[in-house]
A and B are shown apart, each in its own frame.
Chain A
Amino acid sequence: MTEEDQEETLNSMNVIEELKECKDKYLRLLAESENARKRMQKEKQESIRFAVENVLADILSPLDNLENALQAMQNMPEEVKKWATGFQMILSHFKDVLTQNGVTVFLSEGSDFDPHLHEAVETEETDEVPEGTILREFVRGYKVGDHVLRPARVKVAKTPINNSEQKIGD
């Protein structure tokens, strides 16, 4: 009799244990699906942002070319310049689109090189400015808010080797 009782207690304990386990699994699953939902939401926003930014970034390169082309127009005869003015206006329309989407230009020449903002294409040895100063901007950099849409491509000053006190001795 006592043995039967014991067995029954044991059984019901097992059932309670199992129930606990099931409840735990259920809660975990619920939490996991909730978390996955939140993550998906976040990811969706991110991917929309990246998608838009990628398109905007792709437009920058043809814009550079247009800008370069118009700069070359400066030395052209009056007749050509009139055309250039028209294209200049078109260029500014493009830039308006960028501005409306929160894209801003940042100028790099003369500032210190920062790999988060700039991509170094070449260096030039010079004593005139401190090492790391940007000597020339080949391609303009753009930001969306605080985020760099495209780094500027630049030439960076380097202190000539013979003047450098940082030369490794050993």
Chain B
Amino acid sequence: MSQEKKKGRIIGIDLGTTNSCVAIMEGGQAIVIANAEGARTTPSVVSFKGDERLVGVPAKRQAVTNPEKTIYSAKRFIGRKFSEVQSEILTVPYKVAQNANGDAVIQIDGKSLSPEEIGAQVLIKMKETAEAYLGETVTEAIITVPAYFNDSQRQSTKDAGRIAGLDVKRIIPEPTAAALAYGLDKQHDKKIAVFDLGGGTFDISVLEIGDGVFEVLSTNGDTHLGGDDFDNAIVHWMLDEFKKENGLDLSKDKMALQRLRDAAEKAKIELSGTQSTEINQPFITMDASGPKHLALTLTRAKFESLTDRLIERTIEPCVKALKDAGLSKEKIDEVILVGGMTRMPAVEKKVKEIFGREPHKGVNPDEVVALGAAIQGGVLAGDVKDVLLLDVIPLTLGIETLGGVLTPLVERNTTIPTQKKQIFSTASDNQPAVTIVVLQGERKFAKDNKEVGRFDLTDIPPAPRGTPQIEVAFDIDADGILHVSAKDLQSGKQQKIRIEAKSGLSEQEIKRMLKDAEDHQEEDKIRKEAIEVRNEADSLAFRAQKSLDEYKDKLPANIVSEIQSKIANVKKALEGTDNTAISLATSELNTHMQKIGEAMQAHQANAPQAEAPKESGKQAPDIEEAEVEILDKEEK
């Protein structure tokens, strides 16, 4: 309905050597989009057969039938001269030649295809993935490249985007994208090391961040070290073990080898979480004596010894990168892990050893580069700035209730503007007023949190405790200003207060409070339980007394006096601080209370109903009935 054309989204693409990944900004968050096959990364493989062109998983599946026309690792050739890539050519089964400019090109059926065109095919697939998810055309993208890519390689990657029909808004280095994904752009004058061990390559980069701008200080790496090498180490071990045991060589059996490769990858992944894994491959082969099974146990220690020399190969590039940046390891402020292989505990340990500090790691290290690219896209499209307008509250807001407990009304991280309502009641009979103490913080007890305001609601008509319905509403507007109101639903009397958020806390204070809450979680829990025991005891004694007064005439005298003494016990226990005594007295009273019910049933009458405020018909569905009661003013 709007006349203006909506500004399109800018997608973020990690165009990898072995796998590619696409992400977008949605609701202020960067998310990875799964492709049509349901996978979050797509193999960077393109194949040609006649007029047919396949990208991703299908291309990979047909690779052995068509090795000369199945192109993978094209990224190794993009923007490079034929003369520079001699050693790379030896590692691929397809033909690489040079064009008139001396650029490396890929030969298929006698025709030359540039690595840019191959890259474009992968980019098209990523673009389509995003379009299928968004339901709209995508024309703009951020693409990441390794930090060591020179101008020619960056330009070629940009061209690949153009061939794919994408307006490449920016080419950004992969380590920069990773740092963005970890939110490190908000820091000042920090040195960051990005350790990226992916499917086929290892990169280490040292960055400097100042005023939101990243500068790559140095890069190093190993262009032929990655997850596949770790898989192969396991496969070789399995082949050796099988040979030792059965005297048979499985390496010639393609299908058996494929099964071993799958099993190796699975074992590798499992060993990141467990100390040992079973590898069972029944009927892996047959000989004259019958079927043969492969059954092995691989421990994490064994796996680490098998791959030790691979992990060792990461050390030297790191040392060189530090040297080139002119920094000692102590000067590095943050270390980031990128790439699936960094999930391996031994790799993480090695990184810690090299840099002498705990690295940052995300849930999905293979997705952080794409996520960072999407964030950069969001910044350029203005999404990110827009989202900042929709702020969240940094700390929980609530009120103090019986026993000095903080009852939260608006949880932290709630997006504002927002409104929350809850019904509370009084703590004693004929209580004339309640004090609403507005608190901010994550601790369980009122006194441990920050009081941001307080007011009284007076002239509550006399009523037994628990009967009045006092609606407390928290309303936070877009500017973060909090309006708290309390209304006695029966008399309609209302009181309110306006609290400016800014009067509150600095960023540092917020951080400290969050940490505080974390540190005291256990202690608070115990204290809260203690308070709950007391509250329960108090309320039970009250209910028991009430029932007793009501039904005294209908109950046998011995039961009445018995219960009366139990109530006295509870009250006596409540005078002290021994919680065990309180809960003991409470549970005894509880048992005896059942006798009232039994006796009443004998009298053909109903057991008394424990009092509970009724729900008002006018209430919105999100209003919950609170079990807690507002602290009595007189009790303070």
> What is the interface of chain A, defined by CB distance below 8 A to chain B?
24, 27-28, 35-36, 39, 46, 50, 53, 65, 68-69, 72, 113, 115-116, 118-123, 132, 138-139, 151, 153, 155-156, 158, 168-170
Contact = CB atoms under 8 A, between A and B. Distances in A.
B61 A119 contact: yes
Given A50-B38, A69-B283, A121-B254, A116 B58 contact: yes
A119 B47 CA distance: 14
B1 A27 contact: yes
Contact of A170 (B26, B34, B58, B110): B110
Contacts of B135: 35, 39
A115 B62 contact: yes
Given A50-B38, A65-B282, A68-B283, A156 B65 contact: yes
A114 B283 CA distance: 27
Q: Which label, helix, strand, loop or mixed, suits the secondary structure of the A interface? A: mixed
Q: Which 10 residue pairs of A and B lie closest in terms of their CB atoms, listed nearest first?
A: A122-B254, A115-B62, A115-B58, A119-B61, A68-B283, A138-B255, A115-B61, A50-B38, A120-B65, A120-B64
Contacts of A27: 1-2
A115 B65 CA distance: 10
Contact of A69 (B34, B54, B59, B282): B282
B62 A28 contact: no
Nearest to B258: A121
Interface string B118-152: 00000000000000011100000000000000000
B291 interface: yes
15 contacts: A28-B2, A39-B134, A65-B282, A65-B283, A68-B282, A72-B283, A72-B286, A115-B59, A115-B62, A116-B58, A118-B61, A120-B62, A122-B255, A153-B255, A158-B65
B613 interface: no
B379 to A, nearest CB: 18
Nearest to B64: A120
User: Which of B26, B58, B290 is the most central at the interface, judged by chain A CB atoms within 10 Å of its CB?
Assistant: B58
A35 B6 CA distance: 14
A62 B134 CA distance: 37
Contacts of A158: 65
B27 interface: yes
B110 A113 contact: no
Contact of A72 (B59, B258, B291): B291
Contact of A113 (B2, B34, B62, B133): B62
A168 B65 contact: no
B65 A153 contact: no
Q: Which of B2, B59, B65 has the most CB of A within 10 A?
A: B65
Contacts of B279: none
Nearest to B33: A43
Nearest to A139: B255
A22 B134 CA distance: 25
Contacts of B282: 65, 68-69
Contacts of A36: 26-27
Contacts of B553: none
Contacts of B258: 121, 138, 153
Given A36-B26, A68-B282, A170-B110, A121 B2 contact: no
Contacts of B6: 28
Contacts of A53: 38
Nearest to A53: B38
Contacts of B26: 36
A115 B58 CA distance: 5
Contacts of B64: 120-123, 156
B481 interface: no
A23 to B, nearest CB: 10
Interface string B1-29: 11010100000000000000000001100
Contacts of A69: 282-283, 291
A113 B286 CA distance: 27
Contacts of B133: 39
B393 interface: no
A100 to B, nearest CB: 22
B559 interface: no
A39 B24 CA distance: 14
A113 B283 CA distance: 26
Given A69-B282, A121-B254, A115 B2 contact: no
Contacts of A120: 61-65
B255 A115 contact: no
B110 A168 contact: yes
B250 to A, nearest CB: 13
Contacts of B286: 72
Given A27-B1, A115-B62, A139-B255, 11 more contacts: A28-B6, A36-B26, A46-B34, A53-B38, A65-B283, A68-B283, A72-B291, A121-B64, A121-B255, A123-B65, A156-B64
Interface string B232-260: 00000000000000000000001100100
Contacts of A39: 133-135
A91 to B, nearest CB: 14
A118 B64 CA distance: 12
